[in-house]
Amino acid sequence: MKVIIIGAGIAGLSTAWYLQKEYANALDITILEASGSVGGKIQTKNIDGFFYECGPRSIRGDFDLINELQLQDEVLVASKYAKRRFLASHGRLKAFTWIKCLPAILTYPLRWSRTPGDVSIATYFGERFGASFVDTFIDPFCAGIYAGLPDALSYQACFPKKRHAAQIFTFKQGMQTLTSVLAVKIKGKILLNTKVLRIDDHPQNVTVLTDSGLYTADRVISTVNPTAMLPPEDPLRLVVPQVPKASLVTVSLGYYEDLLPERGFGFLASSKEERRLLGVIFDSCVFPQQNGAYKTRLSVMLGGAKAPHMLELSDDALYSEAVDACKKYLGVGQPAHVWAVTRHPHAISQYPVGHLQRMQVLEEALTGRRIQLAGADLYDVSIAGLIKRAEAGVFMNHLGLAHK
Ligand SMILES: Cc1cc2nc3c(=O)[nH]c(=O)nc-3n(C[C@H](O)[C@H](O)[C@H](O)COP(=O)(O)OP(=O)(O)OC[C@H]3O[C@@H](n4cnc5c(N)ncnc54)[C@H](O)[C@@H]3O)c2cc1C
């Protein structure tokens, strides 16, 4: 059976890996990737010894995948400081502890209003713990995970019930190790610089038109929203959720000196505190083994749903914005010895209220179809979540293949 996977990000690569693992040589897998490299948002850079991640910098989870890829010796677990988190508050940093939530939790029994069904994260926590709890604790959480705003995100879709504490880790050579090794160990073909333009689901097969040729398969799994690629008459077009995306910018800063006043994972800023800054990650504290000559490495996250226009600023303006934020909250105002800007247009899915109900409709529409979907627009934006979903083998059933 021929299977085409669209997109060589972590969703596409891990899907290919688990299909290969389950069916060995029974499947002929081809991954079509629009860009010139694998990994999607996962891109590690090392410029003259300055090591930084353009996109995700760590994974929270534990997987058999690491052992299966024989990457155990490459894993780098976050330092003890990763447990210390800070919030930006009135121009200063405050260590986050659960005790700070106590007043809101103690008044919890006094609040009885509950809107039934799915509601926004702001409504859910606002009804239970009050508006200032949302502004102080929930808004920064939304900035940190979704680069989003609590009144635009669905509580049900963004707060999955089962969350287990797991370690935070990366790899000695950075996050890209995972996707590069997957790409090498996947036996199928990976065609780079191959952008999918159209997908036609016929009774006998699926044809996939790309900018470099036409491909035929028995099944297609798209990790990108397929709406624009489907013909107008395909009913899937009407039910694929159009999930809004937040755009953000990462400014990576490196300094030879040890400048941080506090050790920790970093800090987050609520939208009331800062209109353009999402937060700053203290990379040099979390993974000091990657520091090289740079004793302080910071990632300043700007923009997100609260300031989408930030992507339009020049590199110099973004750098200044980042240095200003570091000066204000960390007292680090001197020019960085090295810096780099990465823009992430339409990068993080913002599941709106009612998203899971729309997903149910989509799942029904996908039953029996040759086209299946994966990727961060569906249920989880985290790398751990995307890998777990691929591992759970949802595609096996949809592909009409039973688990072995
Ligand atoms: C700045 C940033 C920081 C993040 N930090 C973390 C973190 O620390 N931990 C974490 O767990 N998650 C983090 N995330 C989220 C996580 O990185 C993403 O949700 C995840 O990597 C998405 O994987 P994906 O495979 O679904 O999509 P992508 O990585 O976007 O891959 C999709 C691929 O499809 C390709 N493609 C698109 N259109 C076509 C087409 N028409 N034809 C062929 N190919 C196409 C793209 O080129 C791309 O390679 C972060 C995200 C960002 C932006």
Question: Is residue 357 lining ligand 1, measured as CB closer than 6 Å?
Answer: no
Question: Is residue 57 lining ligand 1, measured as CB closer than 6 Å?
Answer: yes
CA of residue 55 to ligand 1 center, whole Å:
8
Determine the residue of 18, 38, 41 to mutate for testing ligand 1's pocket, defined as the one with the most ligand atoms within 8 A of the Cβ atom.
41
The answer to whether 206 touches 32, Cβ cutoff 8 Å, is no
CATH architecture of the domain with range 98-158: Orthogonal Bundle (1.10)
Q: Which of 232, 202, 203 is nearest to 214 (CA)?
A: 202
What is the distance between the alpha carbons of residues 183 and 190, in angstroms, rounded to a whole number?
8
Angle between helices 383-392 and 10-23 (to 10 degrees): 20
**CA quadruple 169, 170, 171, 177: dihedral sign:** positive
Q: Which atom of ligand 1 is nearest to the CA of 384?
A: 11
Domain with CATH 3.90.660.20 in the chain: 44-82+165-173+244-349
For 233, counting Cβ atoms within 10 Å of its Cβ (0-12 exposed, 13-18 middle, 19+ buried), the class is exposed
Residue 120 confidence (pLDDT) above 50: yes
| pTM for this prediction | 0.94
pLDDT the model gives residue 110: 67
Q: In the predicted model, what is the mean pLDDT of residues 86-102?
A: 83
For 121, counting Cβ atoms within 10 Å of its Cβ (0-12 exposed, 13-18 middle, 19+ buried), the class is buried
Residue 46 confidence (pLDDT) above 90: yes
What is the distance between the alpha carbons of residues 197 and 202, in angstroms, rounded to a whole number?
16
The answer to whether 9 touches 222, Cβ cutoff 8 Å, is no
Task: Write the residue with the smallest CA distance to atom 17 of ligand 1.
Answer: 56
3-state secondary structure string across 300-321? EEEEHHHCHHHHHCCHHHHHHH
pLDDT the model gives residue 158: 95
Residue 244 confidence (pLDDT) above 90: yes
Q: Identify the residue whose tokens are 């948002």.
A: 41
Out of 8-12, 111-115, 172-176, pick the least confident.
111-115
What is the distance between the alpha carbons of residues 182 and 17, in angstroms, rounded to a whole number?
7
Task: Write the residue with the smallest CA distance to atom 14 of ligand 1.
Answer: 56
Tell me: the pLDDT tens digits for 299-343? 999 999 999 999 999 999 999 999 999 999 999 999 999 999 999
pLDDT the model gives residue 25: 79
Phi, psi for 200 (deg, rounded to 5): -120, 120
* Residue burial 272-291, b: 16+ Cβ < 10 Å; e: rest: ebbebbbbbbbbbbbbeebb
CA of residue 11 to ligand 1 center, whole Å:
8
Residue 223 confidence (pLDDT) above 70: yes
pLDDT the model gives residue 115: 85
Question: Is residue 32 lining ligand 1, measured as CB closer than 6 Å?
Answer: yes
pLDDT over 90 percentage in the chain: 83
- Secondary structure of residue 125 in the 3-state scheme: helix
Query: In this structure, what token pair is assigned to residue 219?
Result: 């099944």
**Strand pairing partners for 303?**
248
Question: Is residue 250 lining ligand 1, measured as CB closer than 6 Å?
Answer: yes
CA of residue 137 to ligand 1 center, whole Å:
27
Residue 239 confidence (pLDDT) above 90: yes
CATH of 44-82+165-173+244-349, picked from 1.10.10.410, 3.90.660.20, 1.10.10.10, 1.10.1200.10, is 3.90.660.20
Question: Is residue 56 lining ligand 1, measured as CB closer than 6 Å?
Answer: yes
The continuous run of DSSP H or E covering 365 comes out as helix 355-366
The answer to whether 254 touches 65, Cβ cutoff 8 Å, is no
pLDDT the model gives residue 159: 85
pLDDT the model gives residue 401: 62
Question: Is residue 381 lining ligand 1, measured as CB closer than 6 Å?
Answer: yes
Query: In this structure, what token pair is assigned to residue 367?
Result: 């039953």
Domain with CATH 1.10.3110.10 in the chain: 98-158
The answer to whether 298 touches 115, Cβ cutoff 8 Å, is no
Question: Is residue 196 lining ligand 1, measured as CB closer than 6 Å?
Answer: yes
CA of residue 370 to ligand 1 center, whole Å:
24
Q: Which atom of ligand 1 is nearest to the CA of 54?
A: 1
Q: In the predicted model, what is the mean pLDDT of residues 175-203?
A: 97
CA of residue 364 to ligand 1 center, whole Å:
25
Task: Write the residue with the smallest CA distance to atom 26 of ligand 1.
Answer: 375
Q: Which of 374, 404, 55, 396 is nearest to 224 (CA)?
A: 374
What is the distance between the alpha carbons of residues 304 and 249, in angstroms, rounded to a whole number?
8
Task: Write the residue with the smallest CA distance to atom 36 of ligand 1.
Answer: 7
pLDDT the model gives residue 399: 66
pLDDT the model gives residue 100: 67
pLDDT category, 404, cuts 50, 70, 90? very low
Question: Is residue 175 lining ligand 1, measured as CB closer than 6 Å?
Answer: no
| Dihedral over alpha carbons 351, 354, 355, 359 (to 10 degrees) | 180
- DSSP letter for 30, please: E
Please name the residue ranges forming H helices in 205-345. Answer: 236-239, 283-286, 315-330
What is the distance between the alpha carbons of residues 362 and 358, in angstroms, rounded to a whole number?
6
Tell me: the pLDDT tens digits for 52-75? 999 999 999 888 899 999 999 999
Question: Is residue 383 lining ligand 1, measured as CB closer than 6 Å?
Answer: yes
Residue 403 confidence (pLDDT) above 60: no
Q: Which atom of ligand 1 is nearest to the CA of 32?
A: 43
Terminal CA-to-CA distance of the chain, rounded, Å?
A: 16
Domain 2-40+175-242+353-398 homologous superfamily, CATH:
FAD/NAD(P)-binding domain (3.50.50.60)
Determine the residue of 198, 224, 268, 281 to mutate for testing ligand 1's pocket, defined as the one with the most ligand atoms within 8 A of the Cβ atom.
224
Residue 43 confidence (pLDDT) above 80: yes
The answer to whether 323 touches 341, Cβ cutoff 8 Å, is no
The answer to whether 113 touches 349, Cβ cutoff 8 Å, is no
Q: Which of 137, 52, 51, 59 is nearest to 94 (CA)?
A: 137
Task: Write the residue with the smallest CA distance to atom 10 of ligand 1.
Answer: 382
Domain with CATH 3.50.50.60 in the chain: 2-40+175-242+353-398
Residue 109 confidence (pLDDT) above 50: yes
Residue 87 confidence (pLDDT) above 80: yes
Out of 98-107, 135-144, 210-219, 376-385, pick the least confident.
98-107
